[in-house]
């Protein structure tokens, strides 16, 4: 089990466009497993590779509730291939924007095509919190944070606070 440090915004590593993997091999599986460990350790429901400083298009997700069995999902090269007309608004958070939340509107249902942990091509229909979470994580692969989908006022307020917290943390005691 390897718990990787999660990068906190603002950080240029969160703005990169991640690259597709050729195949899900042992190396990619290792990344997926480390990412899942890191996500669980941080009590998140989704994590994208750029958040741990990796530039591959890999995300992990688990939206099961506390009283349910874990339902980890591993997605490489995830693509949105269909969206519903109806939207869903959700108060989103992000491990890279700790303790900040904002309402984001996204399609309520999406069809996702991806390579799973066994390098099989899969297609699933996701809705509700799973759809929101997968769209949020795919955004990370394109350098987009949830604050990029809210008003500039709200975005700048959150990023300023995070920047200030970083400066304080960097000061010698
Ligand atoms: Ni996030």
Give the CATH number of the domain where residue 88 resides: 3.90.45.10
pTM of the model: 0.96
Is 92 one of the annotated active-site residues of the chain? no
Options 66, 89, 120, 137, the catalytic residue: 137
Query: Per the domain annotation, does 42 fall within a domain?
Result: yes
pLDDT tens column, 89-144: 999 999 999 999 999 999 999 999 999 999 999 999 999 999 999 999 999 999 99
Structure tokens of 173?
């005691």
The pLDDT confidence band at residue 1, using thresholds 50, 70 and 90, is: confident
Tally of domains within the chain = 1
For residue 166, the CA-to-ligand 1 centroid distance in Å is 18
Query: Per the domain annotation, does 5 fall within a domain?
Result: no
Q: pLDDT at residue 173 above 80?
A: no
Query: Per the domain annotation, does 4 fall within a domain?
Result: no
Question: Which strand (E) or helix (H) includes residue 17?
Answer: none
Query: Per the domain annotation, does 3 fall within a domain?
Result: no
Structure tokens of 95?
């491990």
Domain of residue 27 covers 12-170
């Amino acid at each position: 089990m390897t718990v990787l440090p999660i990068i906190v915004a603002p950080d240029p590593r969160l703005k990169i466009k991640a690259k597709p993997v050729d195949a899900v091999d042992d190396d990619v599986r290792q990344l997926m497993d480390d990412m899942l460990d890191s996500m669980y350790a941080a009590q998140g429901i989704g994590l994208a590779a750029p958040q741990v400083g990796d530039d591959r298009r890999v995300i992990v997700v688990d939206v099961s509730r506390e009283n349910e069995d874990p339902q980890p999902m591993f997605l490489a090269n995830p693509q949105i291939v269909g969206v519903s007309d109806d939207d869903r608004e959700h108060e989103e958070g992000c491990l890279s924007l700790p303790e900040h939340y904002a309402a984001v509107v996204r399609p309520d249902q999406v069809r996702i095509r991806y390579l799973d942990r066994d390098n099989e091509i899969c297609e699933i229909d996701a809705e509700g919190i799973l759809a929101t979470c997968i769209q949020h994580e795919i955004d990370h692969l394109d350098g987009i944070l949830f604050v990029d989908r809210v008003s500039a006022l709200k975005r700048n307020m959150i990023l300023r606070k995070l920047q200030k917290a970083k400066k304080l943390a960097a000061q010698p005691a």
